[in-house]
């Protein structure tokens, strides 16, 4: 761990770096069950890209899989495959060092496979889908393949919402907070109301009664991003909807460029996003 870099957990990471909580999240993402004793948390948050990627949750399983995921609230997925690929490479480097494996060895060095997820928690109706690295290459030779599963973890999209676990509690807490913010409450007021709603349902009881919980929620980077960049996200959503309508009507990219201030590259990026978004 690099002691020169300080890192503050956000709410998502605060919950799911605990292996007991992680199993409920993993079930929602994968539809598979896993035992908390079968996973080990790996912390790479302060090692790489700490200013832009601050909510990693990474585990190594007993059957040698690196399960790596990030929570994401924006509908823009353009560079998330690259971000998760960088995570995986860093985890492999740590794994090799911990096990004292040498790449100069005459014996074949084996490494854990990757299982990569985006836990989407934004406002757009995102479909569960798989995205891949191929779009990032200037020329895709097919020799390097990386896929990432996008999973919508909004409360109204959960498959197992009847279970009163941390995953359901977290999703409901976010859902309620966002709803109260939409009604014009301040962030602190919205968080307090969301706390009351969760307690009524018997969710997150072991956390919400802690004195420091709402302070953590108030300070967490995820909420700051959602509030601070709301206008930027709204503009992005408007562009998506507008391009979607024009494409649906058969309008060519050249004409869309005339109708908007967007470049050809920006329009192509929006079209890529539309492939995994359902309006």
What's the chain's length in residues? 279
Provide, rounded to the nearest whole percent, the portion of the chain with pLDDT above 90: 48
Q: Are 236 and 184 contained in the same domain?
A: no
Which domain range does residue 239 map to? Answer: 230-274
Q: Are 183 and 127 contained in the same domain?
A: no
Per-residue pLDDT of the chain (279 residues; tens, 9 = 90+): 333 344 456 788 889 999 999 999 999 999 999 999 999 999 876 555 544 444 579 999 999 999 999 988 777 777 889 989 999 999 999 999 999 999 999 999 999 999 999 999 887 778 888 989 998 899 999 999 999 999 999 999 999 989 999 999 999 999 999 899 889 888 888 899 999 999 999 999 999 988 788 888 877 644 544 554 455 566 666 777 788 788 888 888 888 888 887 888 778 877 877 765 655
Look at residue 2 and tell me if it is in a domain. Answer: no
Q: Are 18 and 66 contained in the same domain?
A: yes
Instruction: Compute the distance between CA of residue 135 and CA of residue 17 in angstroms, rounded to an integer.
Output: 31
Q: Are 31 and 137 contained in the same domain?
A: yes
Q: What is the pLDDT of residues 47-91, one digit of tens each?
A: 555 444 445 799 999 999 999 999 887 777 778 899 899 999 999
Look at residue 53 and tell me if it is in a domain. Answer: yes
Q: Are 32 and 142 contained in the same domain?
A: yes
Provide CB contacts within 8 A for 219, sequence distance 6+.
8
Look at residue 66 and tell me if it is in a domain. Answer: yes
**DSSP state, residue 75:** S
What pLDDT is stored for residue 234 in this prediction?
Answer: 63
What pLDDT is stored for residue 77 in this prediction?
Answer: 78
Torsion of CA 215, 221, 225, 227, to 10 degrees: 0
Write down which residue in 153, 175, 196 finishes a domain: 153
Q: Are 83 and 174 contained in the same domain?
A: no
Write down which residue in 153, 178, 199 finishes a domain: 153
The domain total for the chain is: 3
Instruction: Compute the distance between CA of residue 164 and CA of residue 73 in angstroms, rounded to an integer.
Output: 23
Q: Are 148 and 171 in contact (CB under 8 A)?
A: no
- Note the pTM of the prediction, 2 decimals: 0.81
Strands laid side by side in the 129-132 sheet: 39-42, 56-61, 65-72, 113-120, 147-152, 129-132
**DSSP state, residue 51:** T
Look at residue 160 and tell me if it is in a domain. Answer: no
Tell me the β-bridge partners of 147: 132
Q: Are 23 and 147 contained in the same domain?
A: yes
The SS3 assignment for 67 reads strand
Look at residue 132 and tell me if it is in a domain. Answer: yes
Q: Are 27 and 63 contained in the same domain?
A: yes
Phi, psi dihedral angles at 190 (to 5 degrees): -65, -40
Look at residue 6 and tell me if it is in a domain. Answer: no
What pLDDT is stored for residue 159 in this prediction?
Answer: 92
What pLDDT is stored for residue 169 in this prediction?
Answer: 97
Q: Are 250 and 83 in contact (CB under 8 A)?
A: no
Phi, psi dihedral angles at 77 (to 5 degrees): -110, 10
Smallest CA-to-CA distance from 75 within 130, 127, 5 is with: 127
Look at residue 203 and tell me if it is in a domain. Answer: yes
Q: Are 28 and 149 contained in the same domain?
A: yes
Q: Are 119 and 215 contained in the same domain?
A: no
Instruction: Compute the distance between CA of residue 67 and CA of residue 1 in angstroms, rounded to an integer.
Output: 20
Write down which residue in 224, 241, 260 finishes a domain: 224
Q: Are 35 and 139 contained in the same domain?
A: yes
Look at residue 161 and tell me if it is in a domain. Answer: no
Instruction: Compute the distance between CA of residue 69 and CA of residue 62 in angstroms, rounded to an integer.
Output: 18
Q: Are 39 and 125 contained in the same domain?
A: yes
């Amino acid at each position: 761990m690099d002691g020169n870099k300080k890192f503050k957990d956000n709410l998502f990471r605060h919950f799911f770096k605990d292996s007991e909580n992680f199993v409920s999240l993993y079930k929602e993402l994968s539809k598979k069950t896993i035992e908390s004793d079968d996973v080990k948390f790996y912390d790479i948050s302060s090692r790489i890209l700490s200013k832009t990627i601050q909510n990693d949750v990474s585990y190594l399983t007993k059957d040698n899989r690196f399960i790596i995921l990030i929570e994401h609230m924006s509908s823009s997925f353009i560079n998330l495959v690259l971000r998760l690929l960088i995570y995986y490479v860093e985890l492999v480097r740590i794994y090799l060092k911990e096990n004292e494996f040498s790449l100069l060895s005459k014996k074949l060095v084996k490494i854990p496979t990757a299982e990569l997820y985006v836990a989407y928690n934004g406002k757009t109706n995102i479909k569960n889908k798989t995205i891949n690295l191929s779009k990032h290459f200037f020329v895709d030779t097919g020799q390097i393949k990386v896929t990432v599963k996008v999973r919508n973890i909004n409360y109204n999209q959960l498959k197992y919402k009847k279970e009163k676990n941390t995953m359901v509690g977290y999703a409901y807490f976010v859902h309620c907070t966002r709803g109260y913010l939409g009604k014009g409450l301040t962030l602190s007021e919205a968080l307090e109301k969301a706390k009351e709603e969760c307690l009524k349902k018997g969710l997150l009881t072991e956390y919400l009664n802690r004195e420091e919980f709402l302070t953590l929620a108030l300070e967490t980077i995820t909420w700051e991003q959602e509030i601070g960049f709301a206008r930027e996200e709204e503009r992005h959503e408007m562009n998506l909807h507008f391009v979607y309508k024009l494409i649906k009507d058969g309008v060519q990219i050249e004409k869309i460029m005339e109708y908007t201030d967007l470049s050809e590259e920006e329009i192509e990026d929006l079209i890529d996003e539309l492939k995994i978004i359902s309006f």
